[in-house]
């Protein structure tokens, strides 16, 4: 099989993995004439999932031959899909060639399980090692770790890759058992713990060689089993706390050809995935605890009509209005419409003067969304609005208008 055909098959086979953003790595570049590539800059190569999401990087599998039979995966052993396998040298050459042509910013490499977990991990590591050691490649490398691989192989992966990720796959252990019988939740957790131990060790010792400077991440498939958003959010909170993951990626399940009867026939709505990302950001950057985000939902699901921060504010009107000139940063972060940057700008601006409505307008904040929840001289918050009217008007503002072509000159 020629290289182009292999690339078609193995890039297509990799598109279901959403965990390939290149954020958070250490700065490294080839300025000064040594080496090649850098971890900075824009992603150049994009792959598209069937539902239209744009996913960056040269994102390929080493092979889509796999001895496992995960029911949700198009590459499972029982699937009737075209198969291919790159050699280590082929992946190295493709990466260097694409990098040199400015097509990509780095490599995201995963694989089906070839012979066993350790052998597969060894092959993935060999690609990264060859790029780094033989070719002095300084671009971004994300290796997907095979959960059952030995601690030695995981240690090697972190030595050469910017980021290493072990996929959690499904939020509940019972679902993992049912849909991915060869995988084991305990082994996945142990691999995450091993990676965390190495990352912590090198961070505590600044002179030690870097280990996965972009940290570790994972991916959770949303909508392949009956897990609620509450289960997923709580699982993510545990992962961030226990293994200090840099990111949890949420990938809306999309049906695959000849799929098992145990799987849904329809894709999970992308808006569900989007709300989970918003909830995730609230936990990581806005000081929300996981239980606050979804506290009163009877069915354990996030509201698809409004973002989870606005939903929390509408449930907790007793917290508002807050005084925009006196509130702490933590309180300001709870105000719908205020992001981390706008809060920093408000805090900086109020050192010099009392904040008024024109200041909020100057900061280009979504005024209609912010005003009901804040107070300042000359502004009475919209407390008079009854509960339904406030919720309805903000919901309409958040997404009620019909999509349409924006005017170039308006």
Interface with ligand SF4 by CB under 6 A: which residues? Answer: 66, 68, 70, 73, 75-76, 112-113, 180
SS3 content of the chain, % helix, strand, coil (to 5): 40, 10, 50
Nearer to ligand SF4, 105 or 169 (CB): 169
Nearer to ligand SF4, 77 or 270 (CB): 77
63 contacts 1 by C-beta, under 8 angstroms = no
- Residue whose CB is less far from ligand SF4, 190 or 381: 190
Residue with tokens 């706390």: 241
CB of 13 to ligand SF4, least distance (A): 8
User: Nearer Cβ to ligand SF4, position 188 or 293?
Assistant: 188
Q: Which is nearer to ligand SF4, 70 or 391 (CB)?
A: 70
Residue 388 burial (C-beta neighbours within 10 Å; 0-12, 13-18, 19+): exposed
Q: How far is the CB of 76 from ligand SF4 (least distance, A)?
A: 4
Name the strand (E) or helix (H) holding 375.
strand 374-375
Q: Which helix (H) or strand (E) holds 95?
A: helix 88-100
CB of 294 within 8 A of CB of 300? yes
If you count them, how many residues does the chain have?
410
Looking at the Cβ atoms of 81 and 267, the one nearer to ligand SF4 is 81
| 13 Cβ contact partners less than 8 Å away, ≥ 6 residues apart | 61, 64, 74, 75, 81
C-alpha dihedral (6, 11, 14, 19), degrees to nearest 10: 140
Preceding amide of 321 cis, omega within 30: yes
Cβ closest to ligand SF4, residue 39 vs residue 153: 153
Residues 150 and 148: their CA atoms lie apart, in Å, by 7
């Amino acid at each position: 099989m020629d290289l182009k055909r292999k690339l078609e098959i193995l890039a297509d086979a990799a598109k279901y993995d959403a965990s390939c953003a290149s954020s958070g790595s250490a700065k490294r570049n080839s300025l000064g004439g040594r080496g090649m590539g850098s971890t900075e800059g824009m992603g150049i190569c994009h792959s598209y999932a069937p539902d239209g999401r744009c996913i960056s990087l040269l994102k390929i599998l080493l092979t889509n031959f796999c001895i496992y039979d995960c029911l949700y995966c198009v590459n499972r052993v029982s699937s009737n899909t075209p198969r291919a396998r790159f050699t280590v040298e082929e992946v190295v050459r493709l990466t260097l060639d694409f990098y040199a042509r400015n097509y990509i910013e780095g490599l995201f490499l995963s694989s089906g399980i070839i012979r066993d977990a350790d052998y597969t991990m060894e092959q993935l590591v060999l690609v990264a090692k060859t790029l780094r050691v033989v070719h002095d490649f300084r671009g971004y490398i994300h290796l997907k770790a095979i959960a059952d691989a030995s601690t030695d192989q995981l240690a090697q992966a972190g030595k050469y890759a910017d980021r290493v990720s072990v996929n959690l796959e499904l939020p509940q252990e019972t679902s993992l058992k049912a849909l991915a019988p060869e995988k084991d939740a305990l082994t996945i957790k142990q691999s995450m713990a091993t990676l965390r131990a190495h990352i912590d060790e090198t961070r505590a010792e600044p002179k030690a060689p870097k280990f996965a400077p972009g940290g570790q991440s994972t991916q959770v498939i949303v909508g392949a089993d009956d897990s609620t958003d509450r289960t997923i959010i709580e699982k993510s909170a545990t992962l961030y706390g226990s293994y200090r993951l840099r990111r949890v990626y949420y990938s809306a399940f999309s049906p695959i050809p000849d799929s098992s009867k145990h799987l849904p026939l329809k894709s999970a709505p992308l808006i569900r995935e989007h709300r989970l990302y918003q909830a995730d950001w609230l936990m990581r950057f806005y000081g929300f605890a996981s239980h606050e985000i979804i506290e009163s939902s009877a069915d354990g699901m996030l509201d698809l009509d409004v973002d989870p921060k606005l939903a929390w504010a509408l449930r907790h009107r007793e917290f508002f209005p807050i005084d925009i000139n006196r509130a702490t940063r933590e309180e300001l972060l709870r105000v719908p419409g205020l992001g981390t940057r706008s809060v920093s700008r408000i805090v900086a601006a109020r050192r010099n003067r009392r904040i008024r409505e024109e200041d909020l307008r100057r900061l280009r904040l979504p005024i209609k969304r912010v005003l009901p929840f804040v107070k300042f001289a000359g502004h009475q918050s919209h407390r008079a609005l009854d509960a339904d009217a406030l919720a309805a008007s903000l919901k309409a503002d958040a997404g009620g208008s019909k999509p349409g072509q924006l005017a170039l000159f308006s």
